[in-house]
Amino acid sequence: MLSSKRAFLSVLLILVSINVSTNSLNPHKYIEVNAQKMVLILRNENHLFKTEPEVFKNKIKVIFEPMIDFNRVSASVMGKSSYLNASSEQRELFISVFKESLLDTYAETLAQWNDAIIETDHGYSGAGGKIISVRQYLKTSNEKYPIIYKLRKYKDGSHKIVNIIINGINLGQTFHNQFQSLALEFDNDIDLIILKWQSDFFANG
């Protein structure tokens, strides 16, 4: 059921390689700096994926996890109706499951791309209220992928990603559609939806 979710997620994990600092006042600059940190891990420590996979995954997760507003993204994936109908425990459980699947798959997939070059388009302007759009390009030996990150600006001046658009594919909307398909299949039973989301991830992983 979630095979398309897995496919889109894999694209995301291949392409995203940034960490937006919680103290960032210039998201373009922080995206660029942390993108290069990720590149160094891929180039210099990629061997750890085979010898010590958990060590490698943790290095990736340290950079990746702080850049996402998992609370807001998870709520968006669930949708207003499901989110409001879910208990606080169910919401927390889905956030945890969604985060775990995203982080683990990200690290595993990214390990295959140790030759990637990442460039930030500093000339791209996508500011609009609390949401700021930043564009990067991931280049491999024969491909070039445009990525647009939607970052929310908070009162303390920090920025975190709330959505990503890759080659025109809106990942937030894609994940939301996947959740709604499960909601239809399980008659909006949040517990069953979460269980299916988690079991499909581990079955595929």
pLDDT digits (tens, 9 = 90+) for 38-97: 888 888 888 888 899 889 888 888 988 898 999 999 999 999 999 999 999 999 999 999
CB-facing half-sphere around the CA of 118: CA atoms within 13 A = 24
Q: Is 103 helix (H, G, I), strand (E, B) or coil?
A: helix
156 occurs within a structural domain: no
pLDDT (tens digit per residue) in 21-55: 444 458 888 778 877 888 888 888 888 888 998 89
**Global pTM value:** 0.80
Task: Report the pLDDT value the prediction gives residue 79, as an integer from 0 to 100.
Answer: 96
Give percent of the chain with pLDDT exceeding 90.
28
What is the C-alpha separation between 168 and 93, in angstroms, rounded?
30
132 occurs within a structural domain: no
Nearest C-alpha neighbor of 59 from the set 71, 42, 72, 75: 42
Which residues form the domain of 42?
Answer: 3-112+170-204
117 occurs within a structural domain: no
Domain count, the chain: 1
What is the C-alpha separation between 146 and 156, in angstroms, rounded?
29
